[in-house]
Amino acid sequence: MQRVTFFVSIFLIVLLTNGTHSKNPGLKSRITSNGLNYAVNVALDVLSKDITNKAIPDQHDKSGSVSYDITGMKITKFTKPTSTVSLQPGGLMWRTSNIDIGLHGDFHYKYKKGIIRISDHGSFDLTGSGITIAINLIIGMDSMGRPTISSSTCSCSVRATGIKFHGGRAWIYNLFRGKVAKKLKSSIEGENGLLCKQLTKLVNVDGARKLAQLPVSVKFARKFLLDYSFLSKPAFSSGFMETYHKGEVNWYGGHGNIPFDAPPLPAGSSSSKMLYLWLSDFLFNTMSYTAFSHGFLTYNVTDKNIPGGILNTTCKNMCIGKLIPKIGQMFPNSQVMLNLRSSTMPNMTAFNATTKVDADGEIKFYATKGKGKVDYFLTLSANMSTTISITVKNEKVFARVLKLPINVHVKDSKIGHLNDFMLNFIVKKIITTFVEPKLNELGGNGFPLPIIGSVHFANTELLIHQNSLLIATDVKYLQ
């Protein structure tokens, strides 16, 4: 039962919110009526399995001259009903109908009238048909930005019941059969009946506890923390509900202090898929800012990274000392180390079906010889505008470099005038050999989406809009 609670609660909430929020979200999501009906269909599958063999409290009563005990009752049959979900202000109304249920139990009775005393025992089977249940779910958020769920009302009615006794004296059983059937029927239906109690506990206890424990941030790439806490309570329309999330990446163990705001996300009107996720440029740029401000975007490139001896200053064939003779003359029999450092925060922009990252940086050259001897001799300013391919797989966003053009010019030189053309040739060789594969390795790790592990995407489409990526998908729930 807790599995279905976790699934329904999260699936209805953790990806979705609106309302009055003071700033634009970095992550927006929408679950449509198709998604909601799929969620409750899965819930009913699990409920149908979990409720079978569910015990019902014993009953003890008296009817005229007959006193009886009904014990050991269990649900033996529960047919999956038809179900509809309707959206309303503040939550959802979930209605199910045409439920058939079967109960089996044991009975013991005593008949006493005058000097006549009779007792017997046996078993019975009770059937209930045409059962209808309606439960109202209220979805909100707590002070930590976590989703909350509760049930405000629940109703249950049973159209008809029938009972069949096994063993004993049938004429005696008929004296109280009607009252027993009515008593058992009342234990099933109504707001305080078995089914409403079970559903209410599912929501108010199991579901609420699970959501209270739900993390609203996820650690990734060892150093980063994605914060997808709610900015406000959910909003509901006739065909879907939406949630708006912070969608901000901070340094793990630190405090977020992002100096820029998220741009507005497109409204969108699509509702044919089960789930829509809008990922703002802001989400990726906060990761870029966090990495930049914590000195994460710097790297020393040595001959260990570039094969073939290209960074040698002395060689017989091709090396930096041959391509730029001044380096070979001033630092013979050495190796060159490059310190790559971003001088500004790389900025991602999505527009016209294209995703681009602009970055500026510096490349410092050092000659190394032996242990501890390092001579600085050159700084290049570099700028690049990278086109990347974005894909979605296994509930993660992946990136791959398509184009990585880079232009450099001399910012500072301790070895006199140098040819920019040759410097660009060398730097592009290094970028192609090391930087581009390194970026693709990072992009291949994937950016995590706030999806629980049992929910998987199906029939997924990725669209690039102004300032955002849109993931439109159906989902499958795998237990």
Q: Residue 105: which of 122, 83, 118, 84 has the closest Cα?
A: 122
**Residue range 136-186, pLDDT digits in tens:** 988 888 888 888 889 989 999 998 888 888 876 666 667 777 777 787 788
**Which of the four pLDDT bands, split at 50, 70 and 90, describes residue 16?**
very low
| Contact (Cβ atoms closer than 8 angstroms) between residue 412 and residue 374 | no
Average of per-residue pLDDT across 14-38 = 72
CATH domain 297-448 topology? Bactericidal permeability-increasing protein; domain 2 (3.15.20)
pLDDT at residue 59 is higher than 70: yes
| Contact (Cβ atoms closer than 8 angstroms) between residue 326 and residue 416 | yes
Residues of the chain with CATH 3.15.20.10: 297-448
| Contact (Cβ atoms closer than 8 angstroms) between residue 173 and residue 163 | no
Distance in angstroms (rounded) separating the CA atoms of residues 11 and 455: 8
The set of residues, in sequence order, having a beta carbon less than 8 Å from that of 373 and lying 6+ positions away, is none
Residues of the chain with CATH 3.15.10.10: 2-13+45-212
**Which of the four pLDDT bands, split at 50, 70 and 90, describes residue 188?**
confident
Cα 183 to the center of its chain, rounded Å:
45
Q: Comparing 111-115, 155-159, 381-385, which segment has the lowest mean pLDDT?
A: 111-115
Output phi, psi for 292, to 5 deg. -65, -45
Phi-psi region of 268 (alpha: psi -120 to 50; beta: other; left: phi over 0): left
Distance in angstroms (rounded) separating the CA atoms of residues 469 and 449: 13
Distance in angstroms (rounded) separating the CA atoms of residues 452 and 429: 42
pLDDT for residue 9: 39
Q: Is 96 helix (H, G, I), strand (E, B) or coil?
A: strand
Distance in angstroms (rounded) separating the CA atoms of residues 176 and 61: 10
Quick one: CATH architecture of 2-13+45-212?
Super Roll (3.15)
Burial of 125 (0-12, 13-18, 19+ CB in 10 A): middle
Q: Express as a percent the part of the chain with pLDDT over 90.
A: 36
